[in-house]
Structure formats: structure tokens, C-alpha cells
Amino acid sequence: MFRRRRTSSRTKWGIIGGAIAGAAALIPLIPMIKRRGMRVTTLLKKDHRVVSGLITTLQLTPRMNGMVRETLLDQIRNHVMVHAQAEEEILYPAIRNVVAHEEQWKVDKSYHKHQQVKDILNDLGTMDPTTDAFDTKFAHFKQMIGHHVEEEESEMFEILKQRMSTEQQEQLGRRIHDRKVNLKARRAA
């Protein structure tokens, strides 16, 4: 049989000290990590993943937990509304400025998709989250938002990467971040 060795406190503190030293070595990298985090595509992808997680959580929540499902729907609605408004006010006009006239339809299509998503969210907000009708409408919402995210990340983000410098993408990310903070504060008030 194997015998468990006793670890001396000296060894434990050595391990802890090594972990602290390793973390301290990463401190100079934080500004670079933060800059990458402010790139518009990184920021918006993070939003997409948060909403996707909330959607999955709501779908996995049993119907009998209607209040929990309502709370999750409110969180989804808040995230989506803030995200969509920031994109509509900042991202889409920026993309419109860098695409050729014959590509403007892509931006128009995104505005239209946002309106459809908002309409479905408003409908869901009036429904009982414990019903079949809610689940059906919510499945439609999930499909619609998934399709929109896929198009946005494959088409719009590629346009940004190809036609904007890293600095421009970071500046756009900071503007969107600041606008979202402002919108969240207003929604909370």
C-alpha cells in the first residue's frame, strides 16, 4: 500500500511562495492583456459567450422554477439590449464607414436582426416561463440569436480585422465598453 507522506510546513510555504512569485512575474503582462481585452472583437465575443451561457442555463432550468427562469430571462434581456444598443450606436456606423457601398446591406441586415431579437425578447417577457409556448418561443430566440452571432463573428468581425488597424479596433472596443457601462448604469437606476 501507499503511504501518504507528510508535507512539512516549509515545503507548503515553498509551494505557495513559488505560486506567488509566478503570479508576480505576470504583472508586467497585464497592460498587454488588458489591451487585447479591449479589442472590439474580443469584447463582443465575450458578450456573445455570456449570453449563450445564460441561454443554456435557462434551458436547463426546470419549468417548475418559474421565478428562476424569469430572472434568467431578465438577465438575458439586459445583456442583449445593452449589447445591441452599443453595437447599433458605435460598431455598425464604424463598419458602415469602412465598407464599400455595395456591402452596406450587411450592416442593414444586422440592424434588422437586432430588431427581430428585441421583438422576441419583448414577447418572451410577457409570457409565463413555465409553459410550452414560452419554451417554443425561447428555442426560436436561441436559434435566431445563434445565427446572428455566427454571421456577426464571421462577416462583420472579418471586415474589422481586414480594414481597421489594431489601434482602431482597440479604440472602438474602448468606446463600446464605455457606452455599455453607461447603459448598464442607466438600466440599474
pLDDT band at 101 (very low <50, low <70, confident <90, very high): confident
Q: In the chain, where are the structural domains located?
A: 31-188
Pick from 112, 121, 124: nearest CA to 87 = 112
> For 27-41, what is each residue's pLDDT tens digit?
555 454 444 558 999
Q: 80 — phi, psi (to 5°)?
A: -65, -45
pLDDT band at 187 (very low <50, low <70, confident <90, very high): confident
Tell me the DSSP string of 134-164.
HHHHHHHHHHHHHHHHHHIIIIIHHHHHHHS
**Residue 9: what pLDDT?**
58
User: How far from 27 is each of 31, 35, 102, CA to CA, in Å?
Assistant: 8, 14, 46
Average of per-residue pLDDT across 13-26: 53
Q: Which residue has the cell 449563450?
A: 52
- Is the confidence at residue 44, as pLDDT, over 60? yes
> For 119-143, what is each residue's pLDDT tens digit?
999 999 999 999 999 999 999 999 9
The domain 31-188 having CATH identifier 1.20.120: the answer here is yes
Count Cα atoms within 13 angstroms, Cβ side, for 11: 4
Pairs from 132-137 (Cβ < 8 Å, separation ≥ 24):
134/69, 135/63
Q: For all residues of the chain together, what is the average pLDDT?
A: 86
Average of per-residue pLDDT across 149-177: 94
pTM, two decimal places: 0.78
**Residue 51: what pLDDT?**
96
